[in-house]
Amino acid sequence: MAERTITLNIKRQDSPQSASYWQEFEIPYKVDHNVISMLMEIRRNPVTKQGKRVSAPVFHANCLEEVCGACTMVINGRVRQACTALATNLPSPTTLEPMTKFPVIRDLWVDRTSMFESLKRAHSWIPIDGSYDLGAGPRISPDVQQFGYLFSRCMTCGCCLEACPQVNSHSKFMGPAVMGQVYLMSQHPTGKMHEDDRIEGVMGEGGIEDCGNAQNCVEVCPKEIPLTTAIGWVGRKATVKWLRDLFMR
Amino acid sequence: MPGNHIIVGGGLAGLMTAMKLAEQGEKVDLFSIVPVKRSHSVCAQGGINGAVNTKGEGDSPMIHFDDTVYGGDFLANQPPVKGMCEAAPGIIYLFDRMGVMFNRTPEGLLDFRRFGGTKHHRTAFAGATTGQQLLYALDEQVRRYEVAGLIRKFEGWEMTSLVLDESGDCKGIVAIDNRSLEIRAFPGDTTMIATGGPGLIFGRSTQSLVNTGSAASASYQQGATYANGEFIQVHPTAVPGEDKNRLISESIRGEGGRVWTYRDGKPWYFLEEMYPAYGNLVPRDIATRAIFKVIYDMGLGVDGQPLVYLDVSHIDPAILNAKVAGVLEIYEKFVGQDPRKVPMKIFPAMHYSMGGLWCDYNQQTNIKGLFAGGEADYQYHGANRLGANSLLSCIYAGMVAAPVMIDYAKAHSAPTNGTRIYDQEATRQREEFDKIFKMSGTENAFGLWRELGDIMTANVTVVRENDKLKLTDTKLLELKDRFGRIGLSDTGKWANQEVLFVRQLWNMLELARPITLGALNRNESRGAHYKPEFPERNDPDFLKTTMANWSSDGPRFSWEAVDTSLIPLRARRYDVDTSHAKAKAA
């Protein structure tokens, strides 16, 4: 009886400028395998299904438990974290591709610097006076915390940008994730004091106006962050601010 | 003139140090293999300790201090631990002010839960993903200083080695870009190693792929003392996997989770029976050994497998969702079962290194200008770390180190002899990489790593036997020999992960020796170090820090006395209550 295997069909690309090509690898099935552990398995003996000795496919991963956001890729046409793509739930062959909305570094590894640049533009931090001891912070209601906490889990994985039709080569749209962070900062009383600054950061070119309400983001977020709530909130705040600025001139 | 500081590692310890430095107007170059937000600190689940005492329990930093020293089986130098516990409430308040969404009480105050090795509720938490929220708060503050031009982040760069001057003082590092493979020297008035633990030496652990201990090992090979390497914490509750053993936080037990297995057809809550005083919240080494005893000595693993149950199915799902959702999510996603309905199946996993680079009470190593902090240092946890003290020690180390690094930079600013020492070290590293590129043998680096992990896990974790430790060191030497016969599958010069891993593997093989031989030399049992041939703690002979220094013949060992000036020694037991309060009353 033949040993059960999984075939991975992987889209490879040797460098940012080179053409992509496909390679197939066959891995013995194990009930505990996920896509990353299978990619690690290939590294021990990188031979294609056809028997050609190659360099092992390059991938970006770290925590292996879906809290770091490193291993985002497109698996069977859907963007997701690779570490939680369990072999028990995958068809054979399974296709692995890098995300399309970010420049490829090599194989399945892409460059998501743009997401971190958006966080800079949005001033996504609480401007504390200093890290010296100032005693306790403000009280926060448990309800506010429970909802705000959901947004604090954003690991900048990029799934929402990959799924968003407004993030593409013709647009400068910053994408949904940063909107969630702008909302989060305002759930803390100190953060709320500087809300205007952040709202301004996500207005203008590439800002909130570019959102087309496709609502793909909430469908693909691995942490089920209520992104559309944040986007709606940011949109309303931006409108009010725009009107206020208009009439304040 | 502001100093220029290098920080290697972008987790909690590294980012805290960076923030503290930048806040004083110092310049910081921060190096991280992955974008700092993806550092292993994100995996910490349960919470951070601080005796804020808002639960009406009469908690205090002194009790926290006693719990920690006792939990560490008296191996830690006591003054730094006291400092850490005294600073803890202020640290928690700071992170609250930075915006961490800590869980709240009905009155809107920070909520605290109970954790292992203590009777007090002093663990502040954000769901069960606290490390993630604390790291993200620092990531945000560091981004603020990045925009202000004070911090430069070199993400995707890995330190290869230190730059030492003729006196042996540290004047910077050499690092390699993991895409272009460019190797470059970086001058620094000070350098801090905050690269976390060496989990990957054990193959599968609860740690992340960056935790090879490579930078600590490189420092050790260049003369930094490695201390108490043999003290490896094996966390009692993890989900075994192909690529890693996934942590199930101690906070599950803090919220009422119960460990059990079947005995005579009935559930046997063995931790509760064996340790009436602390029950399921005994410190990790105690729980792990109990699980090993139940599975291996008594043959009572679930379904004959090396597994026992960790059960929260008796707890209101609403409470679980509010307080530990993130951890239950990990179990659900990887095992496909709902812990709210069925008990989880778990087994212990290598989790943390109490040992690390030796440093003084100011986080400075024996190499002048070189500092260490976070899991990469050895200072705070003695022979066993209490849960929720790691996030604390990482942040405290940054608070302690930053002002000392500033003063050091003022006193020793100019690099000696211009650029010669930097060119020399960069050239040496390029030559090392050229050698790796020429490797054309038959061994595969990842295969050798699997063998390293298997033997370290089998012989240098929960149960240490001298015969097996000697065998392990022999195997390490064999692996080092076979390393020379590695053949590369990837000889490309762009984004070549294999070449980088080959270097990391060498460093893992080097660092595995002080860990293994330190265990061999220590003929007693203390905290996480359990040697059945010597089952008792032996203070007269072994109340001392193991110090290892690299030589080409292997680690050279020496010992340093432990500062026990503040809390007198007493026997460490968790079946009955011998806590600080009782000790004082006696």
What pLDDT score was predicted for residue B256? 95
Contact indicator for B87, B380 with CB cutoff of 8 Å: no
**First-to-last CA distance in chain B?**
56
Residues of B in contact with A188 (CB under 8 A): 99, 101
Nearest Cα to B217, choosing from B207, B206, B205, B229? B229
Least CB–CB distance from A105: residue in B209, B244, B495: B495
Any idea how long chain B is? 586
Angstrom distance (rounded) from CA B160 to CA B157:
9
Least CB–CB distance from A62: residue in B19, B209, B450: B209
Query: Could you tell me how far CA A103 lies from the centroid of its own chain?
Result: 14
B345: which strand partners?
B309
Write the DSSP string, B28-52.
EEEEESS-GGGSGGGG--S-EE---
User: Quick one: tokens of B480?
Assistant: 């080092």
Nearest Cα to A9, choosing from A112, A107, A110, A106? A107
Print the SS3 string covering B141-190.
HHHHHHHCCCEEEEECEEEEEEEECCCCCEEEEEEEECCCCCEEEEECCE
Read off the pLDDT band of B586 (50, 70, 90). Answer: very low
Q: CA of A51, closest CA in chain B: separation in Å?
A: 14
Nearest Cα to B370, choosing from B76, B548, B161? B161
With CA atoms as reference, the chain A residue closest to B103 would be A145
Say if residue B106 is preceded by a cis peptide, omega within 30 of 0. no
Residues of A in contact with B496 (CB under 8 A): 55
Q: What is the pLDDT of residues A179-189, one digit of tens each?
A: 999 999 999 99
> What H or E segment, with its residue span, contains residue B138?
helix B130-147
**First-to-last CA distance in chain A?**
80
* Arithmetic mean of pLDDT, B297-312: 95
Contact indicator for B163, A186 with CB cutoff of 8 Å: no
User: Quick one: tokens of A90?
Assistant: 């995958």
What pLDDT score was predicted for residue B417? 56
Contact indicator for B413, B3 with CB cutoff of 8 Å: yes
Q: What is the pLDDT of residues B3-60, one digit of tens each?
A: 999 999 999 999 999 999 999 999 999 999 999 999 999 999 999 999 999 999 999 9
Contact indicator for A111, A62 with CB cutoff of 8 Å: no
* Arithmetic mean of pLDDT, A74-89: 97
Query: Which value does ipTM take for this structure?
Result: 0.97
What pLDDT score was predicted for residue B364? 98
B104: which strand partners?
B110
Give chain A's mean pLDDT: 97
Contact indicator for A119, B509 with CB cutoff of 8 Å: no
Largest CA distance in chain B: 75
What beta strand segments (E) does B297-432 contain? 308-311, 344-353, 356-357, 370-372
User: Quick one: tokens of B327?
Assistant: 């951890």
Contact indicator for B161, B429 with CB cutoff of 8 Å: yes
User: Quick one: tokens of B137?
Assistant: 């708060």
Least confident of B40-49, B267-276, B481-490, B568-577: B568-577
Q: What is the pLDDT of residues B239-293, one digit of tens each?
A: 999 999 999 999 999 999 999 999 999 999 999 999 999 999 999 999 999 999 9
Q: What is the pLDDT of residues B497-532, one digit of tens each?
A: 999 999 999 999 999 999 999 999 999 999 999 999
Read off the pLDDT band of B576 (50, 70, 90). Answer: confident
User: Quick one: tokens of B334?
Assistant: 């990887």
**Catalytic option among B114, B122, B284, B289:** B284
Best of B17, B32, B37 to disrupt the A interface (most A CBs within 10 Å) is B37
Q: CA of A150, closest CA in chain B: separation in Å?
A: 9
User: Which amino acid appears at position B236 of this protein?
Assistant: P
Nearest Cα to B204, choosing from A130, A197, A67, A37? A37
Interface touch B447/A44, C-beta < 8 Å: yes
Active site residue B284: yes
What pLDDT score was predicted for residue B510? 98
Helix/strand/coil for A95: strand
Residues of A in contact with B322 (CB under 8 A): 146
Bridge pairing between strands B370-372 and B190-193: parallel
What pLDDT score was predicted for residue B585? 44
Nearest Cα to B345, choosing from B293, B289, B314, B307? B307
With CA atoms as reference, the chain B residue closest to A124 would be B140
Q: What is the pLDDT of residues A86-120, one digit of tens each?
A: 999 999 999 999 999 999 999 999 999 999 999 99
* Arithmetic mean of pLDDT, B359-384: 98
Question: What pTM did the predictor assign?
Answer: 0.96
Give chain B's mean pLDDT: 96
Any idea how long chain A is? 249
User: Quick one: tokens of B552?
Assistant: 């080409």
Angstrom distance (rounded) from CA B327 to CA B315:
15
Contact indicator for A39, A59 with CB cutoff of 8 Å: yes
Residue with tokens 């939680």: A84
| pLDDT of B67 above 90 | yes
Angstrom distance (rounded) from CA B559 to CA B416:
33
Query: Could you tell me how far CA B396 lies from the centroid of its own chain?
Result: 14
C-alpha distances (whole Å) from B95 to each of A129, B12, B131, B391 are 13, 12, 11, 12
Least CB–CB distance from A15: residue in B127, B136, B494: B494
* Arithmetic mean of pLDDT, B293-309: 95
C-alpha distances (whole Å) from A62 to each of A211, B71, B443, B444 are 31, 30, 25, 21
| Edge-to-edge strand ranges of the sheet holding B370-372 | B151-155, B27-32, B4-8, B190-193, B370-372
Based on the number of CB atoms within 10 Å of its own CB, is B354 exposed (0-12), middle (13-18) or buried (19 or more)? buried
Contact indicator for B3, B190 with CB cutoff of 8 Å: yes
Residue with tokens 């803390």: A188
Angstrom distance (rounded) from CA B332 to CA B335:
5
Q: Which long-range contacts (CB under 8 A, 24 or more apart) does B558-564 make?
A: B560/B227, B562/B74, B562/B75, B562/B76, B562/B77, B563/B77, B563/B78, B563/B79, B564/B74, B564/B78
Angstrom distance (rounded) from CA B173 to CA B187:
7
Q: CA of A247, closest CA in chain B: separation in Å?
A: 31
Provide the percentage of residues in chain B whose pLDDT is more than 90.
Answer: 95
Least CB–CB distance from A62: residue in B38, B144, B490: B38
